[in-house]
Chains A and B, each alone.
Chain A
Amino acid sequence: MSITHPNLRLTKLAGATPAWMGDIQAQDLQPICQNIHDGGGRLVALWGSDRRATQQGFALHTLLVNETGLICLNLPLEEDHPAYPDISRIFPAANRMQRAVYDLLGIYAHEGGDHRKWLRHGAWHGGSFPLRKDFNAAQSRTDELDAYPFVPVEGIGVHEIPVGPVHAGIIEPGHFRFSILGEKVLRLEERLGYTHKGTEKLFESMTLQQGAKLAGRVSGDSAVAYAWAYSMAAESIAHVTPPDRALWLRALLLERERVANHLGDLGYLGNDVALSFGFAQFWILKEQLLRNNAALFGHRYLKDKIIPGGVAADLSAESKHVIEKECAMLEREVRLLRGIYDEHAGMQDRFIGAGRVEPKLAARLGLCGLAGRASSQAWDARVQFPCAPYDKLDVQLATYRNGDVAARVIVRFDELFESLRLQREILVNLMHGDELALPLEKLPGNGFGIGMAEGWRGEVVVAIHTDTEGNLARVHPHDPSWQNWPVLEHAVLGNIVPDFPLINKSFNLSYSGHDL
């Protein structure tokens, strides 16, 4: 591990993802983060846990990544004043995570500039914290109005447009506050948390198997990525390696999820510039893929097919043939459609230059996943930290440097073709007759594990803490949308208001995975 700090003792975690863990003191948090940042590393996730039942007080967990792997810093916090040094100046993406940690657990960042609430709207009152073990839901109910101070922009002719959370179409809830001058966007401020439903709290009352089902439902479009990350974390705690065939099947499912989402997004991007032809064509292809999923695996969105210890679906020789034919068909059709998209002057005029995120800004703000790769941020867990079977697949990274809507479209097309190639290669390597899953009923006590999977949107991470009996004490699913939502506020600056929906769609970030 290439990180040097006198007070840091790292221990390697078992499992498929290269990850290290170390306990630190409060005064070391900022220097270590700075150290990682200077070495080109990023913040991946930030969460807290209530350890009063097993150890003492609370703890803050900071998950960082550099070129060698994941580093989880555990910072114990006292019970009375659980506070830690602010790291949002080093990693801007930490701002909202820190605020969410306060809303849910009551542990807070010293000297952090922005202390507004983030996930709490009006569902519970400010003095109670849902993720604490002694939280009483009935007593925490409140009817208080949801007051949230947006940053005002002043000047002659400047005015605000509030959009959402109820929209003109049936889409997910989020509030966007535009400060505009004419049609030009001077500032955009997001307000999320409308789909907060207590997912993390729910995990704590579940068995390992129930948790796997819930993980697949954190964000409906990334069911496979979450289920894999969750299972990987559990397997890391239990020191279990799933059978070979299960791993190959997992990769197949993950690539199918990627293809389905990219097809859907490419259609939507056509629809948002009123090219309904593209919308219809891509959605016909997506629908065929989903139907094949239902026929081959028993679920259109492949939910509950990855379980701790292995997979819950098999693939027969005939099914292989179906996928091969489907890949050939998709390859042919998408190539044709890509030609149409590329040559459509009206469409390219809308795409090129819209919502540009310069590589420098992307690096500064920690833009990750697909949107990051469109701005030269070459991170892909399948390439950098290839767990089996990706270590045998030689995944080609799709990056582009322009960082505009057109670049995000190009990356989607490139990844789509790469996914089709990977599916074919997986089918070739998929051996018959192996077992599909190892028995994994219960986890050992006082365990901690991390799983990471490169979902279609970016890196999906799940961290699991178990209590003394091996039950789920704390599960933290992390969606790449946490990093990318704030960047959207920057991407839209200087663009015109009617281009926002297109820019937003080119990121296509998760509400559910973020609001939890």
Chain B
Amino acid sequence: MMAMDQTLGILFQLCQSLLVVMLAPLLMGWVGQCRAWLQNRSGPGLLQPYRSLRKLFHKDAVLAHNASPLFRATPYILFGCMWLAAAIIPIIAVDLPFSPAADVIALVGVFALARVFISLAAMDIGTAFGSLGARREMLVSFLAEPALLMVFFTSSLISHSTQLPHIVDTFAHHEFVLYPSLAFAGLAFVIVLLAENARIPVDNPSTHLELTMVHEAMILEYSARHLALVEWASSLKLLAYISIGIALFLPHGIAEVGNWGALPLAIAALLTKLALAGAGLALLETFLAKMRIFRVPEFLGTAFLLAVLGLLIHFLLGA
């Protein structure tokens, strides 16, 4: 029975890994489609990100003459980091074999690792835009990271663990409690999500104005399969972030330890939550304008403040 459980566990871990990597572009397509609908446009359809990836993989890569191996390796590292992150976050079941690795501080580290590489790669070829983008990315992320950690600490204090599966288990499968501290942490998390995924109002993923770009400026020199991997990694990152959000604030419906029969329902619940989160993101992006870059520190400062408030409330109310 034990051995059977382990085999099943590995099988499901594989399933989740494949599911996230295949699902991530669809999430991007869904967000794009929702934005189009909200703006009175017909939109390119849900499958557009897949078509773009296919197109990019069929092109010949062009590299700058002075590109170092770091520049070539970065798309793979980026893709690897994001895939790993998206694969270990408990989204359908809590006790998959890789689950113990899903420590929230480790997750922040994985995101930071990817960021270091993409920023180095952006500066590697020495164009003005690469450095410009890298500089702005650092400005955004060094403010976003502490806020994210504070959000995680709030949940960790409630569940007495920094391991995501344990946090999820606490929230989803024990008696239902309303945590006021989590409301603040949730708001802070949404802000961090927008900033970290280069979404409006911090960055505009669909802009063609190179001087205003943050994330896009860093990847301007990438083409073909490299660009495809970078884009795919971006969609995986968005999926990972939304998954973390779901795990922390809305884990209800996730399968319990050893309860494999609950999986179909868990997957249905997950898809519904992702769709809702994507639609919410599109709505936010439709009614917000992009802020001036020097407003971003204030915006992320607000996130940090909210997260700290969440912590304080936890200590004051014990909830």
Contact = CB atoms under 8 A, between A and B. Distances in A.
A499 interface: yes
Interface stretch (A35-43, A111-119, A136-144, A160-168): A160-168
Given A161-B132, A498-B293, A169 B286 contact: no
A277 B204 contact: no
Interface in B212-243: 212-213, 216, 220
B166 interface: no
Contacts of B212: 272, 498, 501
A350 B289 contact: yes
B113 interface: no
Contacts of A240: none
Interface stretch (B21-29, B38-46, B88-96, B310-318): B38-46
Given A168-B220, A496-B293, A500-B211, A346 B288 contact: yes
Interface size class of chain B, counting residues whose CB lies under 8 Å from the partner chain = 20 to 34
A183 interface: yes
A186 to B, nearest CB: 15
A362 B70 CA distance: 49
Interface in A343-368: 344, 346-347, 349-350
A276 B290 contact: no
A274 B210 contact: no
Given A277-B38, A500-B211, A501-B209, A349 B295 contact: yes
Contacts of A273: 289-290
A386 B213 CA distance: 45
B129 to A, nearest CB: 8
B293 A281 contact: no
Interface string A247-275: 00000000000000000000000001111
A29 interface: no
Given A274-B207, A346-B201, A498-B211, A280 B293 contact: no
Contacts of A328: none
A497 interface: yes
A501 B293 contact: no
Given A183-B294, A274-B200, A277-B39, A346 B289 contact: yes
Contacts of B286: 276-277
A202 interface: no
Nearest to A505: B209
Nearest to A273: B289
Contact of A168 (B35, B210, B295): B210
Contact of A167 (B40, B208, B291): B208
Interface in B270-319: 285-295
Interface string A138-153: 0000000000000000
B265 interface: no
B128 interface: yes
A284 interface: yes
A274 B204 contact: yes
Nearest to A497: B211
A440 to B, nearest CB: 45
A169 B289 contact: no
A347 B129 CA distance: 25
B39 A162 contact: no
B105 to A, nearest CB: 32
Looking at A160, A274, A275, A350, the one whose CB has the most chain B CB atoms below 10 A away is A274
Contact of B128 (A160, A171, A274, A276): A160
Contacts of B129: 161
Interface in B37-70: 38-41
Nearest to B288: A346
Interface of B: 35, 38-41, 128-129, 132, 200-201, 204, 206-213, 216, 220, 285-295
21 contacts: A159-B128, A168-B208, A168-B213, A169-B209, A170-B208, A273-B290, A276-B35, A276-B206, A280-B39, A280-B40, A346-B288, A346-B290, A347-B289, A349-B291, A349-B292, A350-B290, A496-B294, A497-B132, A498-B211, A498-B292, A501-B211
Interface of A: 159-163, 167-171, 183, 272-277, 279-281, 284, 344, 346-347, 349-350, 496-501
Given A168-B210, A274-B201, 4 more contacts: A168-B220, A349-B292, A350-B289, A497-B211
5 smallest A-B Cβ distances: which pairs? A169-B208, A274-B290, A346-B289, A501-B209, A274-B204
